[in-house]
């Protein structure tokens, strides 16, 4: 490898090899290069204007941590075994999100690869890895990484990622990598020594924004795009999940995401397999999905948090924080048929109108939805999962609403068996001041938003820096074999199989989805809106609802007593799966439609044969 680095304002740049410093030569474009080729495994760093050595902004390997030297990594040395891999389009696939550090007791990519057979038995299509970029310390969520090109060494480093992807492809699993381009973490962030990677013209929740539209932004954009393309080529990943793209503030004629989309599309043609980009955005705006030729960002899919909020608030009764406008079956119907609950309407939490409607004809598979994810669990005060508070029937209902929706469903590791382990916010900052700032910030964050009313009494937010916080967050792999957990796991497997096997349940046609319901208002809510007082838990909704998916039906009884549920026109219906015994009542003289007797907290999935074609 020839050592090269972009440092446009530097007067001198040196290549540092141990105790030796070698002067580098500057080109007119602000790039500096050394004459010698560096062999794989060579440790190196750069010194700008006689300063201290710093890692390469494009370092592929940081074996000594984010403050140590970079090491040359030869990506071509891996002998790939996936030559027959044709790829997976994420749209409509079943995605499984996992955090490498807590997915297994060992917390490594190699150990995670040994558990991929579990995902195969679940019939997952895509495994999504939370960020792997190098960060300071041993453990953390990964969203404070400082190396866009690196793989965290405690996880196994870059070679381990290649092995993981190879193993996944061998089992028929695609791999999605979560990447963070909107900010860098506070420790080990040396890129400002080299050039204008940040700008004061824009600001984000993490401080100064990445420079995407100011002087020098061309190379900053290349730094981002080249890192993304490299995951597809050198590591054979199939998709990238782009974190918080609304914080990529770009006033240039071509938005960074549009540039990235076009470059990925060109690479897709070259490689001959699907390459997907999934945007996390809270804008409730399909500009992210709009083709670049029409002025959009050209993403393959985007996350849709409103669907989560609608499901979670209905089943749990929580109304604190951003759940305040959610929790009724009317809102759930809006989410399942229109995606965005706030689509140019007033958001109480934000205190303003928010979002835009999803254009008619948009494929529902372009929205990734979930009942749990790392944010919605880990950002709770205690990191408690829905399984901590919900009975098995309610968990079964959440699973059915997500997995049999017209969207692209995603599961969060352990959700499929109702894991009892929490998943909390944890960090490992060696710097005492930074560690204390994180502790205090976490406590302040949960000073309001109704957490006391939800949990009862005084709550003590777990110390993110405490070793027991991360240890308690590791999955317990003995749980899936226990009776209650095994039942829920079988239910998830049934639902995924039904989604795969029935065209109506697999469809992304939003117009073929409707919701009917009947029930009591949740305790403590306004009967017209279903909303309680802000920041107050209001109690779960109780009643029955039926989600129509073409000719199929997803029937749910969230009441505390048996209900007879009308299935509407259509049929004849067959009960394909039931959380608890359900009985079909055929049409009769008094009621010409089919009804279903569902026990309390019952869920059933029914299909019907396709209608005969009209001559």
For the stretch 155-182, pLDDT in tens is 999 999 999 999 999 999 999 999 999 9
Q: Does the annotation list 243 as a binding residue?
A: yes
Q: Which two tokens stand for residue 461?
A: 């937010």
DSSP conformational letter for 585: E
DSSP H stretches of helix in 132-186: 157-170
> Which tens digits make up the pLDDT trace of 33-44?
999 899 999 999
| Average of per-residue pLDDT across 366-392 | 96
Angstrom distances, CA of residue 438 to CA of 159, 271, 460, 463, 465: 32, 43, 15, 9, 8
> Which tens digits make up the pLDDT trace of 510-521?
999 999 999 854
Q: Does the annotation list 178 as a binding residue?
A: no
Above 50 in pLDDT, residue 248? yes
Compute the mean pLDDT over every residue in the chain, rounded to the nearest whole number: 94
| Residues 45/16, Cβ–Cβ less than 8 Å | yes
Q: Which two tokens stand for residue 608?
A: 């019907």
Residue that the structure tokens 């302040």 belong to = 444
505 Cβ contact partners less than 8 Å away, ≥ 6 residues apart: 404, 498, 499, 549, 552, 605, 607
Higher pLDDT, 115 or 525: 115
> Which tens digits make up the pLDDT trace of 114-167?
999 999 999 999 999 999 999 999 999 999 999 999 999 999 999 999 999 999
For the ranges 112-116, 228-232, 525-529, 596-600, which has the lowest average pLDDT? Answer: 525-529
Q: Is 570 exposed, middle or buried (0-12, 13-18, 19+ CB in 10 A)?
A: middle
Above 90 in pLDDT, residue 442? no
Q: Does the annotation list 122 as a binding residue?
A: no
* 318 catalytic residue (yes or no): no
| Residues 517/506, Cβ–Cβ less than 8 Å | no
Q: Using CA of residue 154, residue 159, residue 164, residue 165, what is the dihedral sign?
A: positive
E strands, 18-114, in order: 20-23, 25-26, 31-37, 43-48, 70-71, 95-98
The pairing of beta strand 239-242 with beta strand 276-279: parallel
Distance, CA of 375 to CA of 143 (rounded, Å): 11
**CATH 2.40.50.180 is held by the domain 97-191+203-211+240-266+276-430+446-492:** no
Q: Does the annotation list 218 as a binding residue?
A: no
Q: Within 13 Å of residue 28, how many CA atoms lie on the same side as its CB?
A: 0
For residue 612, what pLDDT is reported? 60
Among candidate residues 344, 338, 347, the one with its CA nearest the CA of residue 356: 344
Number of DSSP helices (H) and strands (E) in the chain, helices first? 15, 27
| Average of per-residue pLDDT across 557-580 | 95
| Residues 85/236, Cβ–Cβ less than 8 Å | yes
Q: How far is CA 501 from the centre of its chain?
A: 25
Q: Does the annotation list 110 as a binding residue?
A: no
When pLDDT is cut at 50, 70 and 90, the band that residue 590 belongs to is confident
Cα-based angle 495, 507, 176 (whole degrees, multiple of 5): 70
Q: Does the annotation list 378 as a binding residue?
A: yes
Distance, CA of 219 to CA of 582 (rounded, Å): 61
Secondary structure class of 419 (helix, strand, coil) = coil
Q: Does the annotation list 374 as a binding residue?
A: yes
Q: Does the annotation list 308 as a binding residue?
A: yes
Q: Which two tokens stand for residue 320?
A: 């604190």
* 433 catalytic residue (yes or no): no
Q: Where are the domains of the chain?
A: 2-53, 97-191+203-211+240-266+276-430+446-492, 508-521+538-607
DSSP conformational letter for 289: T
Q: Does the annotation list 244 as a binding residue?
A: yes
Residue that the structure tokens 């999934």 belong to = 278
What are the backbone dihedrals phi and psi of residue 453, each rounded to the nearest 5 degrees, phi first?
Answer: -65, -35
Peptide bond connecting 572 to the previous residue in cis, omega within 30 degrees of 0:
yes
Question: Which of 238, 243, 250, 463 is labelled catalytic?
Answer: 243
Distance, CA of 368 to CA of 517 (rounded, Å): 24
| Average of per-residue pLDDT across 316-341 | 96
DSSP conformational letter for 206: T
For the ranges 177-191, 214-228, 445-459, 496-510, which has the lowest average pLDDT? Answer: 445-459
Q: Within 13 Å of residue 94, how many CA atoms lie on the same side as its CB?
A: 27
Long-range Cβ contacts of 194-200 (<8 Å, 24+ apart): 194/5, 194/6, 194/7, 194/10, 194/46, 194/48, 194/54, 194/57, 195/6, 195/7, 195/8, 195/9, 195/30, 195/219, 195/220, 196/8, 196/9, 196/220, 197/57, 197/223
Class for domain 508-521+538-607, per CATH? mainly beta
For residue 447, what pLDDT is reported? 64
Q: Does the annotation list 241 as a binding residue?
A: yes
Q: Does the annotation list 309 as a binding residue?
A: yes
Distance, CA of 59 to CA of 66 (rounded, Å): 10
E strands, 24-84, in order: 25-26, 31-37, 43-48, 70-71
Q: Does the annotation list 4 as a binding residue?
A: no
Above 50 in pLDDT, residue 534? no
Angstrom distances, CA of residue 299 to CA of 99, 249, 276, 291: 24, 16, 8, 8
| Average of per-residue pLDDT across 596-613 | 90
Q: Does the annotation list 256 as a binding residue?
A: no
For residue 587, what pLDDT is reported? 86
Angstrom distances, CA of residue 233 to CA of 55, 176, 230, 273, 367: 23, 13, 5, 11, 26
Q: Does the annotation list 496 as a binding residue?
A: no
Task: Write down the pTM of the prediction.
Answer: 0.95
E strands, 454-579, in order: 513-520, 542-549, 552-557, 563-566, 574-578
- The CATH classification number of 2-53 equals 2.60.40.10
| Residues 385/372, Cβ–Cβ less than 8 Å | yes
Same fold for the domain at 2-53 and the one at 97-191+203-211+240-266+276-430+446-492? Answer: no
When pLDDT is cut at 50, 70 and 90, the band that residue 611 belongs to is low
User: Using CA atoms in the order 128, 132, 137, 141, what is the torsion angle rounded to 10 degrees?
Assistant: -30
DSSP string for residues in 322-370: GGTT--SHHHHHHHHHHS-S-SSEEETTTTEEE--PPPTT--GGGEEEE
For residue 524, what pLDDT is reported? 39
Question: Which of 219, 280, 398, 504 is labelled catalytic?
Answer: 280
Above 50 in pLDDT, residue 435? yes
Distance, CA of 49 to CA of 534 (rounded, Å): 55
206 Cβ contact partners less than 8 Å away, ≥ 6 residues apart: 182, 183, 247
Q: Does the annotation list 377 as a binding residue?
A: yes
The strand pairing partners of 326, in sequence order, are none
């Amino acid at each position: 490898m020839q050592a090269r680095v972009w440092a446009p304002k530097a007067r001198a740049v040196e290549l540092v090899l141990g105790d030796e410093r070698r002067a580098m030569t500057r080109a007119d474009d602000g790039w500096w290069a050394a004459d010698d080729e560096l062999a794989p495994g060579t440790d190196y760093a750069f010194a700008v204007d006689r300063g201290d050595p710093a890692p390469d902004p494009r370092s592929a390997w940081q074996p000594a941590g984010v403050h140590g030297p970079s090491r040359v990594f030869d990506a071509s040395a891996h002998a790939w075994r996936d030559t027959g891999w044709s790829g997976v389009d994420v749209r409509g696939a079943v995605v499984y999100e996992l955090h490498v550090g807590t997915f297994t007791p060992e917390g490594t990519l190699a150990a995670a690869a040994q558990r991929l057979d579990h995902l195969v038995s679940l019939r997952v299509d895509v495994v999504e890895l939370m960020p792997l970029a190098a960060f300071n310390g041993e453990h953390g969520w990964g969203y404070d990484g400082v190396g866009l090109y690196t793989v965290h060494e405690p996880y196994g480093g870059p070679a381990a990622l290649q092995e993981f992807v190879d193993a996944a492809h061998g089992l028929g699993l695609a791999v999605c990598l979560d990447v963070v381009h909107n900010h860098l973490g506070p420790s080990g962030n040396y890129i400002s020594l080299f050039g204008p990677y940040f700008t004061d013209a824009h600001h984000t929740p993490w401080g100064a924004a990445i420079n995407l539209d100011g002087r020098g932004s061309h190379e900053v954009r290349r730094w981002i795009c080249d890192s993304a393309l490299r995951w597809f080529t050198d590591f054979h990943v199939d998709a990238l999940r782009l974190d918080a793209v609304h914080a990529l503030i770009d006033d240039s004629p071509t938005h960074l995401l549009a540039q990235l989309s076009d470059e990925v599309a060109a690479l897709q043609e070259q490689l001959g397999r699907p390459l997907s980009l999934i945007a996390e955005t809270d804008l409730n705006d399909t500009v992210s999905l709009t083709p670049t030729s029409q002025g959009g960002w050209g993403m393959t899919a985007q996350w849709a948090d409103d669907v989560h909020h609608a499901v979670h608030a209905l089943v749990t009764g929580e109304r604190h924080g951003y759940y305040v406008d959610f929790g009724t079956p009317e809102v759930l119907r809006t989410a399942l048929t229109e995606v965005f609950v706030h689509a140019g309407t007033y958001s109480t939490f934000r205190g303003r109108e928010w979002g835009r409607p999803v254009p008619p004809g948009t494929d529902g598979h372009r929205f990734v939805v979930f009942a749990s994810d790392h944010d919605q669990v880990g950002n709770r005060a205690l990191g408690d999962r829905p399984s901590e508070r919900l009975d098995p029937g309610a968990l079964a209902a959440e699973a059915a609403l997500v997995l049999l929706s017209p969207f692209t469903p995603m599961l969060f590791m352990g959700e499929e068996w109702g894991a009892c382990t929490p998943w909390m916010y944890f960090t490992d900052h060696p710097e005492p001041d930074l560690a204390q700032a994180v502790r205090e910030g976490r406590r302040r964050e949960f000073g309001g938003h109704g957490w006391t009313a939800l949990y009862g009494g005084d709550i003590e937010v777990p110390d993110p820096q405490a070793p027991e916080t991360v240890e308690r967050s590791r999955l317990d792999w003995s749980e899936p074999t226990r009776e209650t957990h095994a039942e829920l796991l079988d239910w998830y497997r049934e639902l995924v199989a039904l989604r795969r096997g029935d065209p109506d349940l697999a469809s992304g046609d939003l117009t073929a989805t409707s919701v009917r319901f009947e029930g009591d208002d949740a305790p403590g809510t306004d009967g017209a809106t279903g909303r309680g007082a802000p920041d107050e838990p209001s109690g779960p909704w109780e009643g029955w609802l039926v989600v129509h998916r073409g000719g199929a039906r997803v029937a749910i009884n969230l009441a505390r007593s048996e209900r007879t549920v009308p299935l509407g026109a259509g049929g004849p219906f067959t009960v394909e799966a039931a959380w608890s015994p359900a009985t079909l009542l055929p049409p009769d003289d008094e009621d010409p439609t089919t009804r279903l007797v569902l026990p309390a907290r019952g869920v059933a999935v029914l299909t019907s044969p396709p209608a005969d074609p009209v001559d």
